[in-house]
Structure 1
C-alpha cells in the first residue's frame, strides 16, 4: 500500500529541488526587505514572519544542497536533456550564496552572535557539499560560472560569519579595549632617583596632575545655529563610537564624561532626541546587520569582488549557446530567475548601503575637523587658499545634497488634541522613514482588573491610518470573542453546578442512580474538565496564549509627544548639574522618587517619602501607578478640566502615560525589568486578587467603568493602615495606593488654601516622581536587554538610558581624575 500516490510522488521527485531553490530565493527576498522594518515596529506579526523566514531560509538552503548532491549520483532518466544535471550543479553555489544571508540581517537575536563558530563550521561543510556536487560532474561545461559563483558565495558567507564574530559580546568588547597603560616606568625612575641621591644631588619626585576640565578648552561644542541633518548623524556616529562600550560594561574616563555632558547641555531637546535616535540606529546595525563590516576598506573591496563575480557568472551563462537544447526549459528559467533576482537584491543592498546613516557619517568630516583644515590652509600660500576655496565650495555642495537626503528621515511632529482641553505635538514620522517605533505602550491595572477599555490620551480617530484602524478592529473582535467565551464558560459552570446539586439529591433517594448516573456525572464534570485544563495549561505554558491575548486586549499605545520628551530632558539635565563626581552621579541615578519630592519643596514631603524610601522598587511602582490612576479618574469631569492650567494638564497626561508605561514594562516586559522587578509579579497577582474580591463583594465585577470603580476604592476608609489589619503575608498594595492617592489630593487642597508661596501641585509632583522612577529603571536595566529591545522597535527606556549616560548619570564613569604623571626634579 502506497501512502503517496504515484502521480504525486512523480511531481515531488521532479520539482523538489526546483521548489526548494525557489523557496530559498523567496525567503531571501523577504529577509532583505522586511528585516529593516523590525527596528521601526514591535508588531508581533512581523516578528513571527521574520523568525519563520530566518530559520527556514537556512534549513531550505541546506536541504536543497543535500538534494542536489544526491541527484548528481543518480543515473539520468531517458527523457532528461543531455546536460541537465550539469545545470543543477550550478545551483549549489547559489544556495551557498543564500546561506550568506542578506546584509540587512545577520542575527535574529543577540544570542545568535555567540554562535558564530557554528556558522563558520556551516560555511566549511556547505562549501564542501557544494564542491562535492560539482566534482561528481567533473566534465561540467558550466565550470566557469560555477567557479565565479563560488567566489561570491564564499565571500557572502564569510561576511555573515565575520559579522556574527565581531558582534559577539566577547569580541565586541575586545575591539574596544584600549592599549594597556602601565604608567611611568617605576623601576627606571627609581634607579635614576637612587643614583642622584648617591651623588648628593637634591632630587625629588613631583606628581603632575592632568588639567582639570575647567582648564581645558571644550573639544565639542554645538554652534549657535541649529544642527543640520548631517551634523545630527555625524555626532550620533561619534558618540556611538564612544558609548558603545556601555553594552559590555566598559569604564569611561572623566574626559569622555565631561565632553558628552557639556555638549548635551547646550543642545535643544529635539536635537538630543535625534542624536540618540541615530546613535541607537548605529548600535542596532552593528549588532544585527553586516553594516559595520561593509563600511571598512576590506569589506568594500570584497563586496566589489563578490558583485563583479556574480555579474561575470551571469554573463558567461547568458552568452552560452544552445542552452534550450542542453538543459530543461524550466531549469533555464529558474537559473535566469536566480541570477536576475540575485543581482536585483545585490543592487538593492548597494542602494541601502549608499543611503545608510553609517555611510553619511563615515564619509564626511565633522565641522570641527573642517575648521582645523581651514586654519591650516589659511596659513598656506595664496594658491593653496584658492584650492581650498574650490574644495570648500565642493564640500558645501556635497553636504547640502546629503542634508536634503537626510531631511526625509527627520522626525515629524503633528498637533493632536488630548483628553484635556489642550493639544500636543505628536511624533508622526512615516513608517518607512522612522528610526524607531515612536510608540509608548501602556498597561493599566484598574482597566485589567475591570476588563475595561483604556481610552487614548491623544485622539487620532480622524487621522489614524487604515492599518491602525484595521488593527483596532482586530483587537475589538478578539476582545468581543474573549468576552463571549468567558460568559459561555461562566454559564456552563452555573449549569454544571445546578445539575450537580440535582444529581446528588436524586442519588441519595435512588441507589441505582447513585451506582450508575452519579459516577458518570463525576467523570463528565470533574475528570474531563480536569484533563482539558491540564492540556490547556501545557499549551499556554508553551505558546503563552493567555499573555498574548492579554497583550492584544489590554495593552494600549500612545505616541511620543514633544513636550513629554522636553520634560524628561529638562529633568535629567537638571539632575546632571549635581553629578560632578562618580559618587554623586551614582547617588542621583539611584534616586527612586525621593529626589523629586525634596526638589518639590512640599511641606507634606515626609508623608509621601515613605512611599518611595521605605518600600521596594516594584512595590513603589505598583503603589504610584494605582494612585496615579485613582487621581486621574477622579479628575475627569468638565468642571475640573476648566480649573486646570495648560501646564498642569500636560503634567496630568504625562504622569498617566509614564505610569501605564512603567506598569507595561513591569508586567509585559519582564526581561527589561529583571534587575529591579523583585517580587513585582507576586505583588501584582495579590493586588489583582484583592481588587477582584473587592469588586465582586460589591457586585461590580462586570462594571467596566474605571471612573466608578476608582471612586469605590477611594470611598473605603483608610483610618487604619492595611498592614495593621492584614499583616505582611499578603503583598497586595491596593489600599496602600488608595492612601497615597488621598495624600496626593491633599496637595492641591493645601496649595489652593495657601495664600503665600507654596510647592508644586500633585500632578507636577507625580510627573517628576514618574520621570525619576523611569530613569532608575533605565539606569539599572541590563545593557544587553537594552540592545535586544532595539530589534523589537525600541522603547522610550532605551532613549532615557542613553540620555542618562550622556549626562554622566551612569555607573560606568568611575574615573574622576586623570592619571598623575611622575617627574624627576633635580634642585639647584
Structure 2
C-alpha cells in the first residue's frame, strides 16, 4: 500500500469520525468540569487549576466547533427509515451541544473578569441558537424519522444557556452593585429595630454574650448544628455590600462584632470560611440561594432529557435501521451523559450549604431531621469534602529558592516557566496561628471606640490603627529606637523583605540551640517562619494582594545578592561566621534596592535583644510572630475586594480571610462612622 493509499484511508477515517470525536470530547469536558471545577474552592493544587482552566476554555470552543461541523453535515442527503444513509446524523445532536454551551452548575466563570463578559455570551447565545436551529431545519428536510426528539432537548439547551448568562450578568460588577443596594436596605431595615444606644450598651458590656442580639435577629430558634450557617449568611450579606464598594453603617458591623467577640478563634475563622464559600458560589457557579424558579428550571431540564431518552429508545425499537450503530451509541452516550450531569447538579444543590441554610431556616422538626440526616451523611462528605477552603499557606523562602535552583530537574522550574507558581511547599494554618491573629485583631478593635469620634492619637484613629505594620508591637516592647526603622519604610515591600531575611537568619542561628529537633522549636518561631514565607509567596505570585510598590524589583535584586553572596550566607546560617563582616561587605558591594543588607542588619539587631538586652529567645520570637501578624493585617486592609474575590478560585488565601474578619470586627475604612 502506497503513501497515497494510506493518506486516502486516514482522510476517509477522519471524515467518518471527526464529528463523533469532537462531540464526545465536548461531553467529556462537561463531565470533567462537573466533577472537578467545584474543587477549586478548597484545593490550591497547580495541576487542578491548570486542567480546569484548559477544560473551561476548551469546552465552549469544542461545542461551537462541533455545531459548525454538524450544521454542515446534517441533511446533506435525504433518507428515511427504509433507506438508511451511512452519513445520516440524529437531529438532536445540535441542541445537545447547545446544552453543553450552557455549562454545568459547578462553574460559570473561571475568574471574576469572565462575569463582565455576559453581554458577549448573550450575543453568542443568539448566534448558536441560530446555528442549532439551522441544523434542525436541515434535518427536517432530510426526513429524519426521530426529529421530534430534538424538541425537548432544544428547550433544555435554551434554559441552561440562558441560566448561565443570567448568572454571569448577576455576578458582574455593575449588577452586583445594583443588587447590593437592595441588600443594604434590607440590612438597614433588619437592624432598625435596634437603637445605636442599645448597640453601644451591648458593646460596652464586655462580659455579655451575643444572646440578646441573636434573639432579636430571630436566630435563637435555629438548631445548634446550623447556627453557624445563619451567622455566616448574615455576614455574607454584609460582605456583599463591602464587595460592591459600599459602606456599612455602625449597626451592621457592631452586630457582627458582637457575634464574633465571644467566639473562639476556630469558630470565628470557620464562619468566615463558610461566608467565603457563599461568595464563591455566587461569583463562579450556578449554585446559590434556593429559589422556586431555580428548582423549576432544573426539574424542566431533567424532564426534557429523560423524555428525549425515552422517545429515542422507543423510536429505535420501531426504526432500528434509521441510524448506524455508531450514531446510536454516541446518541445514547450524549443523552445518558446529559441526564447524569443534570442529576449530579440537582444532588450537588441539595447537599450544598444553601440547601442546608434553607432547611434549617424552616425551624420545623421534620426539616431539622432532614438537615441532620443530610449533614451527617457520608455522601455529603464526598461531595463537599467538609472544606470551604484549602486551609493552608503557600510557602516561598527566598534564600532556599536561590540556593537550590540549580538542580538538574525541578517541577518548580516548569511552573515558573508557565508563570504560575513560586510555591515550594504548603503549611497548614494552625489553630495557634488563628488564635494569635484573632487576639491581635481584637486588641486593635479594643483601641477603637465607635461611640467616641474625637481624635485620640494611637487609640481612636481607625486610619492610624489600620496603618500599623509592626510599629505597634515593637513600641509595646519598647524597641522602637532599635527596630523602628525596619517597619517605617515608605515601601511596605521593603519592610517585608528585610524582615523575611532577618527571620530566616535568626531561625538558623537559634535552631541548633534547640538540639536540631524541629519539634523543640518554639511555636512562635514556627508561626514566624510560616508567615514570613507566606508573605514572600504573595509578593511573588499574588502581588495584587499586597500594597503597591516596587516589590518585584526589590525581590529580584535581593535574589541577585543572595546568589552573589551565597557562600558567605551559607557560612552565616550554619554558624560558621558572624554577621558583622558580612554586613560590611554588603554595605560596600550589595544593591541598594536589595533587602539583603537591611535584612542582615535587622537580624543582628534582633539577636542583640538576647545577647545584649537579656531577652529570652521565646520573648524575641513572640515579638517577631506578632510583627508578622501585623504585617499580614496591614496587607489585608490595603487591598481591593475584587482581588480578594479572585483568590477564591485558587483555594482561598489566608490574607483574604483575615481581611474579611477585620471588616466584621469594624476594622475597615468602609465601616461608616456617622
TM-score range, shorter chain: 0.7 to 0.9
1:574 aligns with 2:443: yes
The 8 Å contact of residues 448 and 461 in structure 2, kept in 1 or not, is answered as yes
Q: Which residue of 2 aligns with 1:597?
A: 474
Could you list the per-position Cα deviations for residues 397-447 of structure 1 after superposition, in whole angstroms to 9, with x for gaps in the alignment?
Answer: 3443344249976xxxxxxxxxxxxxxxxxxx9994322112211111221
Relative to structure 1, is the Cα distance of residues 433 and 654 closer, same or farther in structure 2, using a 3 angstrom cutoff? same
Among candidates 312, 326, 336, match of residue 307 of structure 2: 312
Relative to structure 1, is the Cα distance of residues 4 and 361 closer, same or farther in structure 2, using a 3 angstrom cutoff? farther
Q: Which residue of 1 aligns with 2:632?
A: 774
1:741 aligns with 2:603: yes
Q: Give the CA deviation at 1:322.
A: 2.6
Deviates further, 790-799 or 231-240: 231-240
CA distance in 2, matches of 1:272, 1:570: 11
CA distance in 1, matches of 2:411, 2:654: 31
CA distance in 1, matches of 2:127, 2:391: 43
CA distance in 2, matches of 1:816, 1:760: 40
Q: Cα RMSD (Å) of the superposition? A: 3.6
Q: Which residue of 2 aligns with 1:479?
A: 410
CA distance in 1, matches of 2:408, 2:384: 25
Q: Which residue of 2 aligns with 1:114?
A: 116
The 8 Å contact of residues 623 and 733 in structure 1, kept in 2 or not, is answered as yes
Q: Give the CA deviation at 1:356.
A: 0.5
Q: Give the CA deviation at 1:557.
A: 1.7
Q: Which residue of 1 aligns with 2:555?
A: 684
Q: Which residue of 2 aligns with 1:433?
A: 386
CA distance in 2, matches of 1:562, 1:613: 30
Q: Which residue of 1 aligns with 2:318?
A: 322
The 8 Å contact of residues 449 and 688 in structure 1, kept in 2 or not, is answered as yes
Relative to structure 1, is the Cα distance of residues 671 and 4 closer, same or farther in structure 2, using a 3 angstrom cutoff? farther
CA distance in 1, matches of 2:284, 2:577: 50
Q: Give the CA deviation at 1:395.
A: 5.0
Relative to structure 1, is the Cα distance of residues 298 and 746 closer, same or farther in structure 2, using a 3 angstrom cutoff? same
The 8 Å contact of residues 474 and 627 in structure 2, kept in 1 or not, is answered as yes
CA distance in 1, matches of 2:87, 2:509: 77
CA distance in 1, matches of 2:7, 2:198: 84
Q: How does 1:536-547 map to 2 (within 5 A)?
A: 545=417
Structure 1 unaligned residues grouped into runs of 5+: 182-208, 371-390, 410-428, 454-475, 483-539, 818-828
Relative to structure 1, is the Cα distance of residues 431 and 628 closer, same or farther in structure 2, using a 3 angstrom cutoff? farther
Q: Which residue of 2 aligns with 1:400?
A: 372
Q: Which residue of 1 aligns with 2:190?
A: none
1:220 aligns with 2:82: no
Q: Which residue of 1 aligns with 2:294?
A: 299
The 8 Å contact of residues 351 and 374 in structure 2, kept in 1 or not, is answered as no
Q: Which residue of 2 aligns with 1:629?
A: 504
Relative to structure 1, is the Cα distance of residues 286 and 70 closer, same or farther in structure 2, using a 3 angstrom cutoff? same
Q: Give the CA deviation at 1:748.
A: 2.6
Could you list the per-position Cα deviations for residues 24-61 of structure 1 after superposition, in whole angstroms to 9, with x for gaps in the alignment?
Answer: 11111111001012222222211221122112211111
Q: Give the CA deviation at 1:816.
A: 2.2
Could you list the per-position Cα deviations for residues 608-654 of structure 1 after superposition, in whole angstroms to 9, with x for gaps in the alignment?
Answer: 11111244211100111111111100011145789x998x8111111
Q: Give the CA deviation at 1:690.
A: 2.6
Q: Which residue of 1 aligns with 2:401?
A: 448
Among candidates 618, 622, 628, match of residue 493 of structure 2: 618
The 8 Å contact of residues 21 and 61 in structure 1, kept in 2 or not, is answered as yes
1:177 aligns with 2:177: no
The 8 Å contact of residues 287 and 349 in structure 2, kept in 1 or not, is answered as yes
The 8 Å contact of residues 84 and 326 in structure 1, kept in 2 or not, is answered as no
Q: How does 1:722-761 map to 2 (within 5 A)?
A: 730-749=592-611, 752=614, 761=619
Relative to structure 1, is the Cα distance of residues 53 and 152 closer, same or farther in structure 2, using a 3 angstrom cutoff? same
1:150 aligns with 2:136: no
Relative to structure 1, is the Cα distance of residues 762 and 254 closer, same or farther in structure 2, using a 3 angstrom cutoff? same
- Tell me, what secondary structure is at the counterpart of 2:461? helix
The 8 Å contact of residues 558 and 657 in structure 1, kept in 2 or not, is answered as yes
Q: Give the CA deviation at 1:753.
A: 7.1
Could you list the per-position Cα deviations for residues 272-330 of structure 1 after superposition, in whole angstroms to 9, with x for gaps in the alignment?
Answer: 1211111111111111100127x322111122111112211221222123332122121
The 8 Å contact of residues 592 and 772 in structure 1, kept in 2 or not, is answered as yes
1:132 aligns with 2:134: yes
Could you list the per-position Cα deviations for residues 218-261 of structure 1 after superposition, in whole angstroms to 9, with x for gaps in the alignment?
Answer: 53379999994422222212211221222221111111110011
CA distance in 2, matches of 1:671, 1:244: 20
Relative to structure 1, is the Cα distance of residues 49 and 146 closer, same or farther in structure 2, using a 3 angstrom cutoff? same
- Tell me, what secondary structure is at the counterpart of 1:761? helix
Q: Which residue of 2 aligns with 1:338?
A: 334
Q: Which residue of 1 aligns with 2:461?
A: 584
The 8 Å contact of residues 237 and 358 in structure 1, kept in 2 or not, is answered as no
1:797 aligns with 2:655: yes
Q: Which residue of 2 aligns with 1:462?
A: none
Relative to structure 1, is the Cα distance of residues 481 and 233 closer, same or farther in structure 2, using a 3 angstrom cutoff? closer
TM (normalized to structure 2)? 0.87
Q: Which residue of 2 aligns with 1:378?
A: none
- Tell me, what secondary structure is at the counterpart of 2:522? helix
CA distance in 2, matches of 1:174, 1:753: 56
Relative to structure 1, is the Cα distance of residues 9 and 717 closer, same or farther in structure 2, using a 3 angstrom cutoff? closer
Structure 2 unaligned residues grouped into runs of 5+: 186-194, 203-209, 454-459
Q: Which residue of 1 aligns with 2:65?
A: 63
Q: Which residue of 1 aligns with 2:191?
A: none
The 8 Å contact of residues 635 and 641 in structure 1, kept in 2 or not, is answered as no
CA distance in 1, matches of 2:320, 2:222: 63
Greater RCO, CA 8 A, separation 6+: 1
Among candidates 502, 526, 534, match of residue 653 of structure 1: 526
- Tell me, what secondary structure is at the counterpart of 1:433? coil
Q: Which residue of 1 aligns with 2:207?
A: none
- Tell me, what secondary structure is at the counterpart of 1:267? coil
Deviates further, 351-360 or 240-249: 240-249
Among candidates 330, 336, 358, match of residue 362 of structure 1: 358
CA distance in 2, matches of 1:235, 1:405: 23
Q: Which residue of 2 aligns with 1:788?
A: 646
1:168 aligns with 2:172: yes
Relative to structure 1, is the Cα distance of residues 80 and 446 closer, same or farther in structure 2, using a 3 angstrom cutoff? farther
Deviates further, 91-100 or 267-276: 267-276
Q: Which residue of 2 aligns with 1:512?
A: none
The 8 Å contact of residues 621 and 663 in structure 1, kept in 2 or not, is answered as yes
Computing the radius of gyration from Cα coordinates, the structure with the larger value is 1
Relative to structure 1, is the Cα distance of residues 274 and 228 closer, same or farther in structure 2, using a 3 angstrom cutoff? farther
CA distance in 1, matches of 2:29, 2:514: 58
Q: Give the CA deviation at 1:169.
A: 1.2
The 8 Å contact of residues 576 and 585 in structure 1, kept in 2 or not, is answered as no
Q: Which residue of 2 aligns with 1:663?
A: 536
Deviates further, 92-101 or 438-447: 438-447
CA distance in 2, matches of 1:695, 1:115: 49
The 8 Å contact of residues 687 and 731 in structure 1, kept in 2 or not, is answered as yes
Relative to structure 1, is the Cα distance of residues 546 and 738 closer, same or farther in structure 2, using a 3 angstrom cutoff? farther
Q: Which residue of 2 aligns with 1:52?
A: 54
Q: Which residue of 1 aligns with 2:98?
A: 96
The 8 Å contact of residues 139 and 147 in structure 2, kept in 1 or not, is answered as no
CA distance in 2, matches of 1:101, 1:255: 41
Q: Which residue of 2 aligns with 1:269?
A: 265
Q: Give the CA deviation at 1:144.
A: 2.6
CA distance in 2, matches of 1:318, 1:5: 38
Among candidates 581, 588, 596, match of residue 716 of structure 1: 581
Q: Give the CA deviation at 1:179.
A: 9.0
The 8 Å contact of residues 359 and 367 in structure 2, kept in 1 or not, is answered as no
